[in-house]
Structure 1
Amino acid sequence: MNIQNDQVQTNESFVEENETRYQDYFDQFEQSVIKKKLKIVLIKNKEVQLMTLDGEIVRYDILSKYCNENPEIPFNLEQLTHLQWEGKYKDLKKFGKWTATWKNDIYLMQGMKQGQWKELFKNYYDKAQIYEVGEYINNLRTGIWSVIYENKLIGGGLYNEQGQKSGQWIDLCDYFQFYLPQSQWMQKQRQSVFRINLNDKQKKQFLGVKRYMTKKVERMENGLSYVIILEETQIIYCGEYKNGRKYGIWDILHQRYSNRPFQLIGFGTYNVSGLKNGKWVEQSENFQRMIIFLKKCINIFLIAILSGFGSYDEQGLKNGIWLELSDNYWKFKREVTYYGKYQKDKKIGKWEISFKNCNNPFEMIGGGLYSDSGVKNGYWIEKYESFWSWNEVIYQGLFQNGKQIGRWDLQFRSSIKNDGGGTYDDQNLKNGSWVDQFERFYMNQGYKVLYCHGKKIGLMQEISQCNYQESLKIEQKIFD
C-alpha cells in the first residue's frame, strides 16, 4: 500500500467511506481460488481498515500526511498480508524510487512513473507471480506492455499516447493463475467448443427444479440452447480496444489443463461506447466447476446455474423468488444454496441456507430474516466462510440493522456442543476472548485468541477438539 505510519493531519481529498467487496485467495488444500468478502473502511481521513465480515481487522494502515492520493487497496488476501510499499513523497505525490517487498523479497520500482516499469499483476500472489512490463510517460502507460510469467510472454498489447489500450490485446482474467503456453492462444475453434443442443429429457432435468419456473421457461421464445462448463481460472479475453474501450467482437477462452489447447467458452460484441451490446455468452462469477445456461426472454433474463434460478425485471433488478449458489459453490464439496425473495434487488423476508454433502439430498443448515430495507435482523444461523464438506462450521447469533451484536457461537455442524465463538462490540468488531476457527478448519481444530475491537492481541493458543471431548492445547503463537 502507498501508506506510511506518519503523524496524520486531515486531508480533504479523503472522505469517510465504507465499502464491501470480494477478495480472493488461493486455497492450497483444495488448489482453487476462494472468494470471500472484506469490508474496507476509511476512518476520519486517517486510517484504512480492512476487516472480514465476521468482525476481524486483517490489516490497518495510517495514511500519510505527505500524499493526497487515495490509498491503493491490494486486490487479494495474500497481498494484504505480504505486500508492502516504501518510498518518498514530493509535492503530495509519490516521487523517486519505490520498493515493494513480498515475503521479504524486494522489488525495486524506478521513478515517478517515468520510463521503464515492472509492476505486479493485479492478482499477484504465490501461485500467480505475474508482472506487467512497459514504459510510462508522465504517469501514463505508453507503447507495448507485456504480461510476463517466469520470463515468458503470456499476454499484453499496445497503449496509445493517451495511455489507453489500443488495437489487439490479450487480457488475463483478474483471477488468472498458473502459466499457460503462448503457442496455444490461437488454437481455438468456434465450431467445436461448448455448444450442446439439449434434448427433451435433458431440458426436463434442468427445468424441473421448481414447478413455477417451468411455466416461465415454457414462455421463452426458443428455450435453452446451450450449456457452458467451466473449471479452474485459466481464462483469457481476446479482442480489440479503440480509444481505450473494448470494441467489436471479444472472445472468452478457457484452458482446463496447461497441456490442452484453449477453447472458446463465450463471446459477444461491444459498441462504440465500450458497452456490451446484443447477445452475450459469458462465464458465471462462480466459475469453478460449474455449469450455467441462459437465454433471453421477453423483457426478462432467466438465468439458471445448476439448481439455481431467478428472474430480472425490465430494469435488470432481481425480483421474486430466487435460488442462488454460494460464492464458492463447488459440486460435491461446497454445495451451498440460498433460497428467498428479492424486491427490487434487495433481499427481504425469510431466507434459507441449504447444504448438500456428496450424493445426499439438500438439507437446511441456517438462515434468518431480512428487513424491508434489505438488511439482516434478529436471530441468524450462518455458514462459516470456508464452509465445505470437511469443514461444516456454522455460527449463530443476533443481527441488529445488519450488524452482528452480542455473543456469537461457532459450532461444528455434527457436534452437540459449541466449538467456539465470542462477543461483538457496538462497532460490529470482535472484542474480548474468542475461540476462532482456522481458514482451513479440519477435524475440529481452532484457536483461542484475545481481540481488542477487531485487532488480535497477545497470545494465540491452538486447540484441537478430538471426538468432541476436552479441548487439548497443542501449540501457542504470539501475534505482533
Structure 2
Amino acid sequence: MNFQNLNTLICQEQSIQKHDIKLLEILKWDEIKKKLVKITIEITFTQDNKIVYSQEGVILRIEQVNDSIENQELLTNMEQIKYAQWQGEYGENNRKNGYWRVIWRGKPLRRVGGYYQNGLKQGIWNELNKNFWILAQIQERGQYFKGQKNGEWIYFFDDKKIGGGSYNQSGQKNGKWIELGDGFYNHSQVTYEGEYKNGKKIGLWDIWFKKHIVGKQNYMIGGGSYDQEDQNKIGKWIELSDGFQEFCQVTCSGEYQIGKRIGQWSIWYKYWETNNYKEIGGGFYDEEGSMKIGRWIELSDEFKCDLQITINGEYNNGKRVGIWQKINIQNNKIYSQINSDK
C-alpha cells in the first residue's frame, strides 16, 4: 500500500467542508459486460468552492472552482472524471484568462482548448465532447460569444465530421441537428437526427447506427416524433435499449401519449448472424402514466450477446410481485428465480 497516497486522501477528506450534496448518474465502462453502464456517484459542493466527485466514500476527483460554482458543467463520464484536467492562467479577480488547454492522462491533447476573456469563453474553441473517453475520442468545434455557444458547432470522431448543428443568439439549439447517443463509442456509433426550435426538439427524429467493422454502413434503426410545444414524445416510437452496441442490438417499440408510454411495448433483439430482429420480451403500460402492469419479459442486468438472460414475472401498480424467473432464451432454461414479495 502507498501510505503517502493514503495520507493525502485522508487529509483531503478531512479538509472538505460540505455545503451541498447531490447524486449524479454517469457512464462507466463495465469490463465484464463489455458495455457502458450507468452508475450513481456523489457530487459535493464545498463552502470553499470545490467540487468533489466520490463513489462509496472514495474520492475520485477534487476540482477547485474560482468562478460561480452553480454554473459549472459537471462531468458525466468516469474516464473524464479521472483523467481530464484543464491547464491555463488566471487574471484579475482570479478569473480564467488567455489560452487554456486539456491535459489527458498527464499529456496535452493536440488542438484541444481555447481562450478565456475575464472568465468567459470567447472565440473559436475545440472541446472534449461530454462522452469523450478512450474508445470515443469525440471533439466539438465552434464559437463562443461571452461564454455562450453561438452559431455552427461540429462534432468530430476519428477526424471525421459526424454531427452537429447551430445555436441561436440565446445559446439555444435551433434548426437541423445530428446529435450523438449518450453511450456513443466505436462499437455503438448511434446518432439522432431531427430539428430543434429554440432549444426544444420538435417533429420527426430518426435514430441512425453506423457499423464499425462491417462495411461501415449507416442504418436508420428507430425514431419517432415530438410535439410542437413541450418536447413530449408522441405516437409510435422505436427506441434503443441501454448499452445498445454492434454485437448486442436491442430495441423496444410502442406508443407514447404526451410523453408517457402507453399500451403494449415489445423488446426486439437482432441476432448477429442474421439481419432480422426477433421479439424476445415486452409487456403493457397502463393508459394513465407509464406504469407497468401484468405480465412482463424484461432484459436482465446480465443480458449480453453470448448470455441472453431475460427476467419474467408480474407487475401490479408498477411494482414487481410474486416469483420472477431469470431465463436463458438461448436454451429456454431457468437461470434463477427470486421472490419479489420478500
Q: TM-score, normalised by structure 2?
A: 0.72
2:235 pairs with one of 279, 296, 311: 279
| Cα 1:161–1:339 shift into 2, 3 Å | same
Give ranges in structure 1 of 5+ residues lacking alignment: 179-231, 371-480
Deviation of 1:158 (Å):
1.9
Rg larger for: 1
TM-superposed deviation, 1:97: 3.8
Q: Choose from 298, 311, 333 the match for 1:337.
A: 311
- Structure 1 residue 307, shift from structure 2 partner: 2.7
| 1:26-175 alignment, distance < 5 Å | 27=31, 32-42=34-44, 48-51=52-55, 55=56, 57=58, 59-61=60-62, 63-64=64-65, 67-69=68-70, 71-87=72-88, 91=93, 94-107=96-109, 108-111=113-116, 112-175=120-183
SS, match of residue 82 in structure 2: helix
Q: How does 1:285-434 map to 2 (within 5 A)?
A: 285-286=241-242, 287=244, 288-294=248-254, 300-305=262-267, 306-320=280-294, 322-327=296-301, 329-337=303-311, 339=313, 341-343=315-317, 345=318, 347=319, 352=324, 354=326, 356=328, 358-359=330-331, 361-364=333-336
SS in 1 for 2:331: coil
Q: CA deviation at 1:21?
A: 2.2
TM-score (norm 1): 0.54
Match of 1:208 in 2: none
Give the Å deviation of 1:83. Answer: 1.8
1:235 is matched with which residue? 190
- Change in CA separation of 1:104 and 1:75 when aligned onto 2, cut-off 3 Å: same
Q: Distance in 1 between matches of 2:299 and 2:57?
A: 25
Structure number with higher strand proportion: 2
Q: Please give the per-residue CA displacement for 1:212-269, whole angstroms capped at 9, x wherever unaligned.
A: xxxxxxxxxxxxxxxxxxxx52221222222222222222122234524322222322
Write the distance in 2 (CA, Å) between the matches of 1:22 and 1:327.
Answer: 17
Judging changes above 3 Å, is the alpha-carbon distance between structure 1 residues 167 and 246 closer, same or farther for their aligned structure 2 residues?
same
Structure 2 stretches of 5 or more lacking a match? 1-11, 268-279
1:24 has 2:28 as partner = yes
SS class of match (1:81): helix
Percent identity over the alignment is: 27
> Contact (CA 8 Å) 2:26, 2:78: kept in 1 or not?
no
Q: CA deviation at 1:146?
A: 1.2
User: Structure 1, residues 400-425: CA drift from partner, whole Å, max 9, x if none?
Assistant: xxxxxxxxxxxxxxxxxxxxxxxxxx
Between the aligned partners of 1:302 and 1:77, the Cα distance in structure 2 is 36
Q: Counterpart of 1:249 in structure 2: which amino acid?
A: L
Provide the aligned length of Structure 1 versus Structure 2. 302
1:91-110 Cα distance to aligned partner (Å, 9 max, x none): 57654443322122214442
The amino acid across from 1:262 in the alignment is: N
Residues 67, 140 of structure 1: alpha-carbon distance in 2 compared, 3 angstrom cutoff: closer
Report the more deviating stretch, 145-154 or 319-328. 319-328
Question: What one-letter code is carried by the residue in structure 2 that aligns with 1:24?
Answer: K
State the shift of 1:161 in Å. Answer: 1.7
1:308 and 1:239, CA in 2 relative to 1: closer, same or farther beyond 3 A?
Answer: closer
Mapped partners of 1:365, 1:277: distance in 2: 35
Matched-pair contact (CA < 8 Å) for 2:241–2:251: no
Gap change, CA 1:312 and 1:160, over 3 Å in 2: same
Higher RCO (Cα < 8 Å, 6 or more apart)? 1
Counterpart-to-counterpart distance in 2, 1:322 and 1:360: 16
Counterpart of 1:78 in structure 2: which amino acid?
E
**Partner letter of residue 361 of structure 1?**
K
Instruction: Report the AA paired with residue 106 of structure 2.
Output: N
- In the alignment, the residues of structure 1 paired with residue 308 and residue 36 of structure 2 have an alpha-carbon distance, to the nearest angstrom, of 11
Determine if contact 2:325/2:334 at 8 Å carries over to the other structure: no
1:447-458 aligned at under 5 Å gives the runs: none
Distance 1:246 1:296 in 2: 15
The answer (yes or no) to whether the contact 2:36–2:183 under 8 Å persists in 1 is no
* Letter matched to residue 73 of structure 1: L
Superposed CA RMSD in Å reads: 3.6
**1:310 and 1:323 in contact (8 A); partners too:** no
Q: Aligned in 2, Cα 1:284/1:74: closer, same or farther, shift over 3 Å? A: same
SS of equivalent to 2:80 = helix
Deviation, 1:329, is: 2.6
For 1:252, the equivalent position in structure 2 comes to 207
